[in-house]
Amino acid sequence: MNIKNNQRSRDTETRVEAVFFALLAKKHISKITVRELCEGAEITRTSFYGHYEDIYDLLRKVENRIAGEILGFFWEELKQNHKDLRVAFIQTFRYIERNKAFFQFFMKNADTREIFTLNPVLDYMGASGSVQEQLRLNFFIGGLNTLLMQWLESGCRETPEEIWEALPTGYVKEL
């Protein structure tokens, strides 16, 4: 019996996601079939449906996992590197680059088109942020998301270090 969250179950989900990302890099989600996901991941349809309701459920689960991971990843990098924004952002950009197929799809098709959002930043800073700080951060985050969208659309031609250099980091000095 395959119990949810055991190693075998996680391995299956990892394989399905890898095939899903590869397919997203080639075609729109509406053209991806459960059959090709199963063939690529070397699983049965029964196994697929044991994990997901359909392809859009797979997408939702991947979006939720990656959204949580990227923000957690950024904050962990920031903590581990003594609040060094440069290191935290570069490592986060590398994460985005490694998962480029997903983020390209996400930025083209998501309702919000935001990888970073204001509320987690404010939560991290505490509710003490002034209105001016919130406005500055909101401006920065909007620009950051637009920069990331352009970077992903170009196929991540620039290095994470070059993306960092393009950021007006004065807006986030309070972090």
- Range 7-52 has CATH code 1.10.10.60: yes
pLDDT, position 118: 64
> CB–CB of 4/42 below 8 Å?
no
**Where does the chain hold its CATH 1.10.10.60 domain(s)?**
7-52
Contact assessment for residue 58 and residue 20, using Cβ atoms and an 8 Å cutoff: yes
Tokens of 139: 């401006």
**Where residue 3 falls among pLDDT bands split at 50, 70, 90?**
low
Q: What is the mean pLDDT of residues 86-108?
A: 85
Residues 138-157 have a mean pLDDT of 89
Rounded to the nearest 5 degrees, what angle is found at the Cα of 68, between the Cα atoms of 76 and 159?
Answer: 65
Is 1's pLDDT higher than 50?
no
Chain centre to alpha carbon of residue 109: 13
Whole-angstrom Cα distance, residue 95 to residue 151? 13
Mean pLDDT for the chain overall: 82
Does 133 have pLDDT greater than 80? no
Q: State pTM to two decimals.
A: 0.69
pLDDT category at 150 given cuts 50, 70, 90 is very high
Structure tokens at 148: 């990331």
Q: Which residue has better confidence, 15 or 64?
A: 15
